[in-house]
Structure 1
Amino acid sequence: MTKKIRINLKLLAAFNFFTDFRLYIPIAILYFAKVSGSFTLGMSVFTIIALAQTVFEVPTGILSDKFLHRKGSIQCGALASFIALACYAYAPSYTWLAGGAILEGLARSFYSGTKEALLYETLKENNQENEYHHYQGKVVAMFQFAAFGASVLGAGAVLYSYKLVMWLSVIPQLVCMIISLFFVEPKMHTKQINHNIWAHIRESLKQFKHNKRLRWLAIANTVNWSFAETSYQFQSAFVKLIVPEWALSLIRSLKSLASALGFWFAGKIINKFGYFKIFINSHIIALALNLTAVLLKNIFSPFLLVVNSVFFGVTSIAKDTLLQKEFTHRERATLGSFVSLAQSLGFACVALMIGYIADITNPAIALFIAFAAPKLIILPIYWRLLRKK
């Protein structure tokens, strides 16, 4: 392993850890609903994040590929994230939540595709791109380890006030701003810059038109992520029906730990079982666990949701690796941004729909739909794409 790989791997791991060290995540929907006055408006904060990310996705992807490059884009994302969380923490009204959501959408768009491109290009520069899924699993696991630690600490802080939890969550974003100063830009990226923006966009879109495999992978990822992210953000509203509020952070911490283990060992699991078995079996098992949890609606439900989180880590790395293999080098971050754009639009629609269903029925029914609906679409796609691989 070269010095550049070691530096970027360590920095990416640390950056991801502090990016997701957010104590408020387990009670986010509860805090947003409290400030805004309803579950629908509370979920609309997530929708605004997604819509803002949609608006900024392609421009920031182009900036990453052509002007700011990987390091500069990560720095801009860290700054936007810091200001966004400060807005959430201060928020005396829904307007401040909405402003923070727009900035968080901007931050996510700067990160989208850029960190993956930084890692992939760093490895490719040293002829180790075939190990991407192994290193990416380790780096992304830091998100979940951070969420685990933040949830444990948040369980204590939430006993005092939601505001305390929110302000404590701002500090790690400042740490991210400092870490972002030390990334090493891959030389192979900066050597191939072409500043014709419209030609760059056309070439990126052509990849989806001519690469059928890329197109179907993007569709499957969009559908899956839209519902998965919605159910993840909304689960606290369901679990609150079963356990006391102080236990929400502890349950979320266990989910994060389970996901972290899935990410950490994803590379080895992918090498052993292959993509087809991982996608088909994990989605079927996850669906069974999730629906059982919702139907039981008792003390065992949160633990079934925790067990299911192991599959999330493995399948996430598998999906990302397949996409990176289909992306062209010159448009890598922009192609990733187009996929994220579709995911953000999908999430924006699904989040509002699930929030509305919860308001007119109850959180259990809304979560059941969020778990079951996407499998009808993505399982046939993965079966068709991967069964011969």
Structure 2
Amino acid sequence: MKSNVRKLYLIRFFASLIPAYVIERLFWESRGMTIQMVTSTEIIYAVAIVLLEVPSGILADKWSRKQMLLLSACLYAAELLILVFAHTFWHFAAAILLAGVSRSASSGAENALLYDSLLAEGRAENYEKVLGRMNALDLTSALLAALIGGWLAGIFKLELHYWLSIGSVLIVVGVAATLTEVRSDAADEDCAKLAPLDYLRASIRFFRANADVRSIVFTGMVIGSSVSFLYEFWQIYLSRLAVPTAYFGLFSASIMLLGIPGNLLAHRLLSRYGARPLLLAATLLASAGFFYAAFVHHVTSLGAMLLTSLAAGIAEPVASGYVHRRIDSDMRATIDSFQSLGQNAVLAAASFGFGLASARFDVFGGYGFIGALCAGYFIWQVSAARGRIE
């Protein structure tokens, strides 16, 4: 089981060692992709996850979490290969569709395999700590890839970034193939008894019966979907501020660096302040960061964007751990998939508003819309909490 945890660390590292991401939007724009086209592919991505997230979670619980992670890695490599040769909107749309399928295949399976591996070792209480470290390693790898990608962009054609990225993902395929499936005999018996629809009904009953879980999960969804727009469009934002391309790698690295302390400290902050106050504070911080970036078109806006990355780093392990401590092993991937499904449903809905605001006010308007979304949710949650107290 310890081997599983180490291999999951390796998978996270090489899955994020993708130099293509630092020049992704510039590469897409050079192939004729506008902001509106990019937001359309984001909707395709989110819809694919909404449709497949829960079925893939059920499949991971009933069949194999290891095999779902392996399938995800293979689809990831295929996505990057398509992008190398993409020249029309539909090429990019096909690649992003594969990305959605790949993401849905791995999201519930990875966290479920991690938690059950720790549970088998008697270390389940360290879940947030280990997940935070995995996320920090993820960000460190992405930081390294950003620095490499930024350096390569000034020397070679952008296609090279994608070929190097494909090589990194092929390592993920190899490591995923060596994972060990973890499942207790009791969980195997429960999985054998349950039909796919039983998983769906049980998941719905779980969320209906646990109002506190619904609140925590939805807050995590709002933060996670909102920060996606920061990660996807910061390159365009920097270009609008006339920041030289040579500094893109440095800024990307800074985003990753600010996410690392959030993930590493999340378990300590959780024990001191509790999940709900932490997530509400992260929502408020994200709202302030997006508003500042939207209305202050200055290099200081980059600092506000970095604080938003810090907020997101705190939120993910806290929300995930809150859910996993309250579910059984035989439903772990399915419930986790519901959480990811909801986040991407919020992402799909927010993409419409972001696209419309960007069409009228460029990327600044899009970030203003996301800031308003986070602020509105924060006010709603605080008002609801006061109502319960009264």
TM-score > 0.5, shorter chain as reference? yes
Aligned match for 2:61, one of 37, 62, 65: 65
Greater alpha carbon shift after TM alignment, 35-44 vs 15-24: 35-44
CA contact (8 A) 2:288 2:371 kept: no
> Which residue is 1:119 aligned to?
114
**In the alignment, does 2:47 pair up with 1:47?**
no
Greater alpha carbon shift after TM alignment, 246-255 vs 273-282: 273-282
**Structure 2 spans left out of the alignment, 5+ residues:** none
User: Deviation digits for residues 277-300 of structure 1, max 9, x if unmatched?
Assistant: 422333333433442343321122
Per-residue deviation at 1:380?
4.0
Decide whether aligned partners of structure 1 residues 343 and 60 sit closer, same or farther in structure 2, where only a CA change above 3 A counts: same
Q: Distance in 2 between matches of 1:378 and 1:339?
A: 19
**In the alignment, does 2:322 pair up with 1:322?**
yes
One-letter code aligned to 2:172: C
Q: Distance in 1 between matches of 2:355 and 2:26?
A: 12
User: Deviation digits for residues 285-341 of structure 1, max 9, x if unmatched?
Assistant: 343344234332112222332243222211221111112223333211111112222
**In the alignment, does 2:107 pair up with 1:107?**
no
Per-residue deviation at 1:40?
0.5
Decide whether aligned partners of structure 1 residues 286 and 55 sit closer, same or farther in structure 2, where only a CA change above 3 A counts: closer
Secondary structure class of the residue paired with 1:187:
coil
Aligned match for 2:142, one of 147, 157, 174: 147
**Structure 1 spans left out of the alignment, 5+ residues:** none
Q: What RMSD over aligned residues (CA atoms) do the two structures have, in Å? A: 2.3
One-letter code aligned to 1:32: W
- Identity rate, percent: 21
TM-score normalised by structure 2 residue count: 0.91
Note the 1:219-238 alignment, pairs <5 A.
219-238=218-237
> Which residue is 1:169 aligned to?
165
Q: Distance in 1 between matches of 2:146 and 2:199?
A: 42
> Which residue is 1:83 aligned to?
78
One-letter code aligned to 2:50: T
Decide whether aligned partners of structure 1 residues 148 and 282 sit closer, same or farther in structure 2, where only a CA change above 3 A counts: same
One-letter code aligned to 1:297: H
One-letter code aligned to 2:92: L
CA contact (8 A) 1:118 1:185 kept: yes
CA contact (8 A) 1:276 1:382 kept: no
One-letter code aligned to 1:349: A
> Which residue is 2:216 aligned to?
217
CA contact (8 A) 2:36 2:359 kept: yes
Decide whether aligned partners of structure 1 residues 325 and 143 sit closer, same or farther in structure 2, where only a CA change above 3 A counts: same
Q: Distance in 2 between matches of 1:307 and 1:204?
A: 34
Note the 1:1-389 alignment, pairs <5 A.
4=1, 6-67=2-63, 69-159=64-154, 160-188=156-184, 189-190=187-188, 192-194=190-192, 195-242=194-241, 243-378=243-378, 380-381=380-381
User: Deviation digits for residues 84-141 of structure 1, max 9, x if unmatched?
Assistant: 1111122122222111111111110011111111111112223322221111111121
User: Deviation digits for residues 239-298 of structure 1, max 9, x if unmatched?
Assistant: 221211232222011111211222123222322333244223333334334423433211
